[in-house]
Amino acid sequence: MKNFKQTLGISLLLVAGLVFVAADHIDAPAVQGGTSDITDFYAFQGENTDNMVFVANLQGLLSPSATASATFDENVMIEFNIDNTGDNIEDLVIQAIPRNGKMYVIGPVAPSSPGLASVINANSINDVIFVDVTTYGSEAKVATKNGTSVFAGPRDDPFFMDFAQYSEIIAGNASGFNNPGSDTFAGTNVMSVVVEVPKAMIGGTGTINTWVESKRKQ
């Protein structure tokens, strides 16, 4: 969980909300941007311990009914960044771009240049793995190629925390947590991108520094 953007509860429903005003015009739709909010990031060793798993979650606090209509913003790239030289500058990236209901995944590959702007780092379809975005209520669709597996679609939100009580403490309205606490994220879903790669592709040994970015097509 990053900055609890998902707990803010600004859902896509609201993004979608076009307020029908009693006037001769419709209001502007809610300002965009929620679709690129990263709610969470995980990196852990895979079931096959030679592999590393990266997880990015977006669009938190989705109720089951909201999940059914949730989609990825196809202008937004999710980019996992990997630094394996200890300078906190990415040496490798894994790029995931949704298009026409599929998630296209490229990498790990050296970025043409590190930093805030990214371009696709692939020469042909051979460098790309793609998978259908799993629809709500159906079995997880997984694509595997050259030892790399990818998944994209709705999942249970793995995050757990009593966010409301934490906020009360920060706001000075409470002096401590409740026991038992209440998991704000219980029963809710997120939109996930999961990529598993052989450790050999990202350095093999030692420690990496990793983070995830969302980037909008210009």
* Least spacing, CB of residue 181 vs another protein, in Å: 4
The nearer residue to another protein, 43 or 132, going by C-beta atoms, is 43
Q: Is 70 left (phi over 0), alpha (psi -120 to 50) or beta?
A: beta
Taking the C-alpha atoms of residue 167 and residue 148, their distance in angstroms, rounded to an integer, is: 39
Name every residue whose Cβ is closer than 8 Å to that of residue 59 and which is 6 or more positions away in sequence: 6, 11, 12, 34, 35, 37, 39, 70, 190, 191
Segment 42 to 101, residues that bind another protein, using CB under 8 A: 42-47, 52-53, 55, 61-69, 71, 73-77, 79, 83, 87-89, 97-101
Token couple for 99:
């298009």
**Cβ–Cβ < 8 Å for 153, 142:** no
| Binding-residue total with another protein (CB under 8 A) | 144
Does 205 participate in binding another protein (rule CB under 8 A)?
yes
Interface pick for another protein out of 37, 103, 108, 197 (rule CB under 8 A): 37
The nearer residue to another protein, 36 or 132, going by C-beta atoms, is 36
Segment 108 to 167, residues that bind another protein, using CB under 8 A: 114-120, 122-128, 130, 136, 140, 142, 149, 151, 154-156, 158-167
The nearer residue to another protein, 10 or 94, going by C-beta atoms, is 10
Interface pick for another protein out of 10, 92, 103, 197 (rule CB under 8 A): 10
Burial of 19 (0-12, 13-18, 19+ CB in 10 A): exposed
The nearer residue to another protein, 94 or 189, going by C-beta atoms, is 189
Taking the C-alpha atoms of residue 1 and residue 4, their distance in angstroms, rounded to an integer, is: 6
Does 105 participate in binding another protein (rule CB under 8 A)?
no
Taking the C-alpha atoms of residue 67 and residue 153, their distance in angstroms, rounded to an integer, is: 10
